[in-house]
A = this chain, B = another copy of it.
């Protein structure tokens, strides 16, 4: 018996039917011309979604965290400085992964639930002009906060500091403009707003970032997550063998992106905005309090504290077992008193919202 969940947590989301269907295509070898054609089209589709002309745009064979680590270890040498914006769980993870890579981490903080101030990040860069990277999470999945990354790129353009943006929850959900915002490195994941199952991490590097990677003096500490080797594997002709990529997951991403682009990226952003607002307009009436301030609120991921006196874990479990609806629990300071509700990709629909609200109303009695 297979559970059939309405996935409204922080991810995975319910994939597009096209993305699920594509999983059953016959498996192809990773050097098959048909597979290489699909990979090439995935590159084009990812460029359209990242809004970039970057040649190095490919899916890393791992989840979003693998994309994060691939960017960090490919662009950081031991002893390099990285400035990290930290206002949630995934900012903390950036610090952790960079530390393990031997980097010096300069933290720029804001409280969990509040956005980072771009001026603080730029001030930290001026104080640390030797920094190789400045890294920010565009959409903090832990708090539902949108960090404003648009002002950073133009200010960093004349410096030695590359801009790295975590777009795991942002990509395909809210506006993100890799080229216009002068983002040098960006990674995402398939199972959030792109509407495919988990397993791949789309990554894009600017020519400046590729040059930096190719000019490094020390080898990249990871073989599996070496974006230079992955460039030679996915984008060179003939490809240099690196690993046995999964045609199964590639097909599915290809199909999910196809569906998204057929709707139109701006239309998809608008849909996420509209559906997220529909939920966020309704929650206060049920006694929930939204965590992110309005100016920095993500539509695709809403974090909200529960009405006083309710046991969030018990309620969340009932939502799952009695209604087959998954939402996420709070993290960090919000553990035990908040939910994280995702309305991402194929799940960003009116139906999801009325279903969730109806079930919550029943549960609250």
Given A26-B5, A93-B223, A198 and B244 contact (CB-CB distance below 8 Å): yes
A63 to B250, CA, bound (A): 14
- The answer to whether A5 and B28 have CB atoms under 8 Å apart is yes
Contact B27 A24, beta carbon cutoff 8 Å: no
Closest B residue to A189 using CB positions: B244
Q: Is the CB of A246 within 8 A of B63?
A: yes
Q: Is there an interface contact between A245 and B63, defined as CB atoms closer than 8 Å?
A: yes
**B248 in contact with A197 (CB, 8 Å):** yes
Nearest chain B CB to A108 CB, angstrom units: 21
Q: Are the C-beta atoms of A326 and B223 separated by less than 8 Å?
A: no
Q: List the B side residues contacting A102 at CB < 8 Å.
A: 221
Chain A contacts with B in 163-214, Cβ cutoff 8 A? 189, 191, 197-199
Range for the number of chain A residues in contact with chain B: 35 or more
Q: Mark A238-280, 1 if CB is under 8 A from B, else 0.
A: 0000111111110010000000000000000000000000000
Whether A222 is near chain B, meaning CB under 8 Å from some CB there, is yes
Bound complex: CA of A221 vs CA of B12, how far in Å? Answer: 27
B12 touches A26 (CB 8 A): no
Q: Tell whether, in the assembled complex, residue B7 and residue A66 are in contact, meaning their CB atoms are under 8 Å apart.
A: no
Minimal beta-carbon separation of A74 from chain B (angstroms): 12
With A29-B326, A61-B63 in contact, do A247 and B24 touch (Cβ < 8 Å)?
no
Q: A24 and B26: CB pair below 8 A? A: no
Residue A69 interfacial (CB < 8 Å): yes
Cα distance A102–B15 in the bound complex, in angstroms: 41
Q: Which of B11, B21, B244, B326 contacts A191 (CB 8 A)?
A: B244
30 pairs, CB–CB < 8 Å, chain A vs chain B = A2-B34, A5-B26, A5-B29, A7-B27, A7-B28, A9-B29, A12-B28, A12-B29, A12-B247, A15-B27, A24-B24, A27-B198, A64-B244, A66-B224, A69-B224, A96-B223, A100-B220, A100-B222, A102-B221, A189-B244, A191-B244, A197-B246, A197-B247, A198-B245, A198-B246, A198-B247, A199-B246, A224-B225, A246-B249, A248-B249
